[in-house]
Amino acid sequence: MMKLEVKGLYKTLQGVLTLNDLSLGLKEHEVVVILGPSGCGKSTLLHIIAGLMRPEQGRVYMDGRDHTGRTGRVSYMQQKDLLLDSRTIIDNVSLPLLLRGIPREQARRQAAAHLDDFGLTGFANYYPRQLSGGMKQRAALLRTYLFSSDILLLDEPFAALDAITRRKMHLWLVDLQQRFRSSVLFVTHDIEEAFLIASRIYVLSARPAQVRLEIDMKAEPHSPLSLYQVKERILAVLEED
């Protein structure tokens, strides 16, 4: 059974069809990457999965149950870290626990127990402005994880980082996912980023988005030539008019 499954999604925004009979799935403990050209509807898809939008047609299932239009089941991290400048890191990452009604000091203790795993040891009382871009994204990811640890929706979370920091974050995310065994749906338009982290890749068409290609990275040979051939297949889809 799929951990997360979307079936036959249609969505129109401002009179323009954005998602066109889109279906895909995420297995338990899997990292699935959604690749697509800018503006194709990737973020709209995540909004629907998170329950922030409703589709005109289609359903969203989690653990076999219909969650269409319902919020609070998954964690959703967008490209901007959205940390509150007026709060320390520990108070930023504790927010999901506070929203569940956990007392402040208990929430802070629970969050503090994860600081080392997320590379934030010693930074609990810092403010976001005092951290590097990579560390702010780690704090944002910890906050996302504490909201719901089993299904994470990540919308281009490292796009604003420089190339070296992004590479470090990719390796760190892979290690973190393997240790915590979360199911991750990761949106990007960067093919190399997808190759680094994905178990499977869905390639979407230009708007209105449809799944044009599904690639099982575990089944693909990882020689430079093979990856080049996979990249060419993906580019052929992304460059379609």
How many CA atoms lie within 13 Å of 80's alpha carbon, on the beta-carbon side? 3
The SS3 assignment for 60 reads strand
The number of C-alpha atoms within 13 Å of 228 and in the hemisphere containing its C-beta is 3
Task: Give the pLDDT confidence of 164-189 residue by residue, as tens digits.
Answer: 888 888 888 888 888 888 999 999 98
pLDDT at 216 over 90: yes
* Structural contact between residues 92 and 120, judged by C-beta atoms closer than 8 angstroms: no
* Domain 4-74+150-238 in CATH 3.30.70.260: no
Q: From residue 34, give the alpha-carbon distance in Å to each of 99, 110, 212, 213, 227.
A: 30, 32, 11, 10, 17
Q: Scanning the structure block, which residue is given the tokens 């030539």?
A: 225
**Domain residue extents for the chain:** 4-74+150-238, 85-147
Indicate the helix (H) or strand (E) that contains 14.
Answer: none
CA angle 185, 127, 95 (to 5 degrees): 50
The answer, yes or no, to whether residue 149 has pLDDT greater than 80, is no
**pLDDT band (50, 70, 90) for residue 124:** very high
